Structure 1
Amino acid sequence: MKFEVGDKVVVKITNEDGVVAEIIDDNMVVVDVRGVKFPAYTDQLDFPYYKMFSKQKLVPEKKAAIPKTFIDQVPKEKIRQLPKRDPNGVWITFIPKFEQDDFGDDVVTLLKIHLHNQNETGYQFTYQLKYFGETDFELKNQVLAFQDFYLHDIPFSSLNDSPSFHVEFSLLTPDKGKAPYFEASLKLKPKQIFMKIQEIQAKGEPTFSYQLFKDYPNKVEEDKMELGKLAAAGYKVYEASKARQYLPPARTVVDLHIEKLTDDWKNMSNHEILMLQVDEFEKYYELALAHMQPILTIIHGVGSGRLRDEIHGILRLRKNVKYFVNQYHPSYGYGATEIHFQY
């Protein structure tokens, strides 16, 4: 028998490709051509090899040589002026990654974090992710002008651990008129994140962002005092090495409850009370630094948390703060923050 079931064949009359579907006898078979079956004599069929070789030559023809093009024959490309973007600061951007759960609902499994520079200046940066004041991830690199830099991913579940994002910037090209470094930080609460994700889902947007700063700050010029003139005017001038002995004593624990600070607190507004408490905190914070104190405990109470948040916001921007923590203390409960310094 010339053919078997499954053999590929060509119908000589129509030059169509088919497959042998059934053997009828030695002289006739059933052929399937694109789903249509019909009987055919074996002498009306052939194997497809001749057809393939007749279509494709065994030795391909040589392609015509491409004429050489010399450099002076290449037309100059016109330089296209791209639209200039307006500087808009440096942002930290979050990209939620969605996956479907067992019920077919879209849930966020992690957040991809990027640093987005929309300014005309490039920066060196040191990035830190902290949980409860402790550094969990740190990265040093640079982000160029109008560029995006991928930092890392964080699990969505870790948002319940009070993450805070800290970035210290400095200029890639130093400028004497600009600050040597600039610190920015961001602390997000889980509720804020949930609301942002719902908002971008409703708008069909892939990301949400927070601005870390708009313009890199100028250098703060220190006032230079003429010590000789001050002494001649009757002011006391101390040597820096001996100045500490003339400072008020520092405290390791400072209680900011308003009744401890003034007897007239009942006649004060909430804003006036808060400002007095913050001033007192600043006073003993500076004294702790002047006396090279390793730890300072601030008792701010629980209350609405406004004073605590105000103090924490200040501490995040202070370079001498190694870390601070507001955890349960047997004497103060959750109403105190412990500050650890670095020198």
Structure 2
Amino acid sequence: MLFTPGARVKLVHTREKGVVVRVLDEGMVLVRLLEEGLEIPVAAEDLRLLEAAGQSAPRKSPRPGSERPASLQDPEPQFTRLKSEGILLAFVPLNAPPTEFQTFLLNDTSRHAVFSLRLRFGDQVEEECSGKLPAHHAEPVGHLLLDDLNDGPTYELECREDSTAGLGPLLQKSLKIKPKTFFKKFKTAPLLHKGAHLFPLFPSLDAPESPQEEDLPTYTRRRARPRSAPSDLYRPVSPYAPDELAAFVPEVDLHIDKLRSDWRKLSKAEILRIQLDAFDRFMEKAIRLGAERVFIVHGVGKGRLRDEIASRLLQMPEVRSFKNEYHPRYGWGATEVEL
């Protein structure tokens, strides 16, 4: 990339803006920072050329694949689209593996619009552009570096329909880009007809429908949790086994060495299954005999068995309450259950 004195540039890594003072030897460029007024040497590969005031050229020197295709100047749909995808933001990779993306604002509707778009990193507005967005049009609105994804870029868009009757309702959208979701949204972009990371913004240029107010009875019915049906596994209390209840020990120790002698040969999944089977049998007996309080000894460890037990207790309609608190006998390694 060639830089000339007076050219406006941006530092790739710090996103500071400056003006080229002169070109130095060994691929270095002397840049005067706009905010601080300092002059610092910067490697040419760490600079991006910004758009000069009053010019319509891209903010960087042309490169293969980054020029605006002639077909995007005044595109005409080549066939009737079955369904419009509305207003979208598309990020087209400029190289492989991708380290930089060209950003397009797509109007995949049959109506003209005007827009204002800002790229924000935290509280700092990095780029801002506005203008007309014709129907079936792809408007280039900037570039995004792969490294910028780690800084949480946020695009803020305001858009209105532009017709002979005047401007339509204001549509606003704030889109925060996250690396994980960014790479999951790669598909063929409408109008561009090439692969891009695609983010829908508005389904149309119409005002969004305001949600209907919901009365209290309807809200209560919608939010009410269905009552759990009694499980076939846990039978009603039998009043005919007083001797068995008297001999019942209200605790079960689920440590695997208490359940199996060959536990060292078992996998972690097999150990957990054996422990939960023992828990199910114990709870079935406790409920059948009418025990009022039992203790499930599961130990501390990483909490996997404790969490599985808590999940199952939540599904038992016979359980009044349970807690995993410090106990003078069991410490933190047991759950107390009231039936």
Give the TM interval when normalised to the shorter protein: 0.3 to 0.5
Point out the structure with max Rg over C-alpha: 1
